[in-house]
A and B are shown apart, each in its own frame.
Chain A
Amino acid sequence: MSTIAEKFGREDWSRFTPKQRMQRYAAFAFSALALGWALSSIDVIWAWVWDAPEQMGDLLGRMYPPDPSNLGTILNVLMETVNIATFATALGVLMSLPVAYLAAQNTTPNRATLWFGRLILVTSRSVNTIIWALLFVAIFGPGVVAGILAIMFRSIGFIGKLLGEAIEEIDKRPVEALEATGASRFKVIVYAIIPQVMPTFWAVAILRWDINLRESTVLGLVGAGGIGIILQGAIDTFNWPEAATILLAILALVVLGEIVSAFLRRRIL
């Protein structure tokens, strides 16, 4: 007696045909070549790479022990950083609401408004916070205002896009039901759309606040307020012990922000 497999001579099976296998090898080879070319095209000074551990040890040695004599100022500026992030997030959230409404296909009034909304999103998102900050420092001069505006402008795109997508993914049936009651467009939005995107709204707002907290720590590097200014000052004057304190303070802030946002997420969602 023979098994079915023997009778039909079916004991060979492979995932790919020989042709497919060759194509896959070729794709691998091409990727490897591209990687090799990319590596050779960047100018690495290998001597500096090899003595990096030594330099690192040297730097740590100069940073230790951290100098807490300016801790008062550092904490003050740190608070300013938190304020920049919080204000900018709040304003960004407010401004992103109408943008999300315009950029969602199922709520936007017409084609033109859809593209207008998307244009705002793309503009906001394609420019990095630091670039926005450079721009606003040039307009408003160095300081907190430029920082808040920079973070706000970057946040509008982020929140607007995620919120717009949430609006597009809602269950359309309640919307239809409320339209059938003779409710106006605005009332349908308030009763059928807003309740459905509320969880996303809070999640996105908290996440963005978390991100903004970190982004606002580097704003000072371009003069837009926050703790970055004194960090740069410390590095420029080779005051490594103070730089170490500032870095530790930033680390503490980021960890704290993480804890707060995790707590809020649990409470609200």
Chain B
Amino acid sequence: MLKITDLVKRYGTGNPVLKSLDLTIEGESVVSVIGSSGAGKSTLLRCINRLVEPTSGSIELNGTELTSLRGRELRAARRKIGMVFQGFNLVDRLTVMENVQSGRLGYIPTWAAVMRRYPKKDIRRAYELMERVGIAHYANKRADELSGGERQRVGVVRALMQDPEILLADEPTASLDPKTSEQIMGLLRDLAGELKLPVLINIHNVTEAKIYTDRIVGMRYGRIIFDDTPDKLDQEAMDQIYSGSPHADRSEDLKEAS
């Protein structure tokens, strides 16, 4: 269970990007986060695995408080949080297998990592997952030889190799064509079910969010203003999430403050 309480993130001295945000994700649900650019979706996801440092508040994953971890403890916690990125973020010059195994870097000894001597069970697991998403025959190809959809599959397998307790996906389909995009979304949904894994997906495509996820969270300028099942997301809710401008929202803050 992921439990976020009163989360605030402020870059520098400006207005907060996340304004005392609360969110709880239980069980193996697939949750999508929608909202216009600058709403703080990406910051929210990155606060969870501490790629972005939260300003205040609490993030708890299965009983572990994540916001106060440092060094070795932080790395141990990050192993349990898989992340899939918009730009895939693979190491282009390494093979698909090396990219996939880099999801295990938090577990294996340094020397084994340097020499690429991966444990047998990790290799078996990698082949299983790669077979599952249809990229097993690319194991020895360099990552930059693959197409966008195939690269994102490598990204997904890398995250799953971590044996995560939650999967975060930061606009995983935004750089893909519509058909590939649907395939990846379907894959994320199915894998979540198969592996009993909660998944949190940032997404711009509301139609896909409705089709592929169990719950939709609508964000607007650092706040959650919608949180319900996809069928409850009507035109009015959509207008609320996507209307307005950062400027208007900021002046709203000023009024509240005065």
Contact = CB atoms under 8 A, between A and B. Distances in A.
Chain B, interface size: which category?
A: 20 to 34
B110 A182 contact: no
Interface residues of A, number: 21
Interface in B114-168: 114, 155, 158-159, 162
A176 B110 contact: no
A181 B51 contact: no
A186 B114 CA distance: 10
B81 A180 contact: yes
Given A182-B77, A182-B78, A195 B106 contact: no
Contacts of B103: 181
A180 B91 contact: no
B238 interface: no
A173 B155 CA distance: 12
Contacts of B195: none
Nearest to A196: B93
Given A182-B106, A184-B110, A191 B76 contact: no
Contact of A176 (B79, B89, B102, B104): B89
A182 B105 contact: yes
A185 to B, nearest CB: 9
Contact of A178 (B82, B92, B105): B105
Contact of B78 (A180, A186, A187, A192): A180
Interface string A95-115: 000000000000000000000
Interface of A: 171, 173-174, 176-184, 186-188, 190-192, 195-196, 198
20 contacts: A171-B92, A176-B85, A177-B85, A179-B51, A181-B78, A181-B82, A181-B104, A181-B105, A182-B77, A182-B79, A182-B105, A184-B105, A184-B106, A190-B113, A191-B94, A191-B98, A191-B102, A191-B113, A195-B94, A196-B91
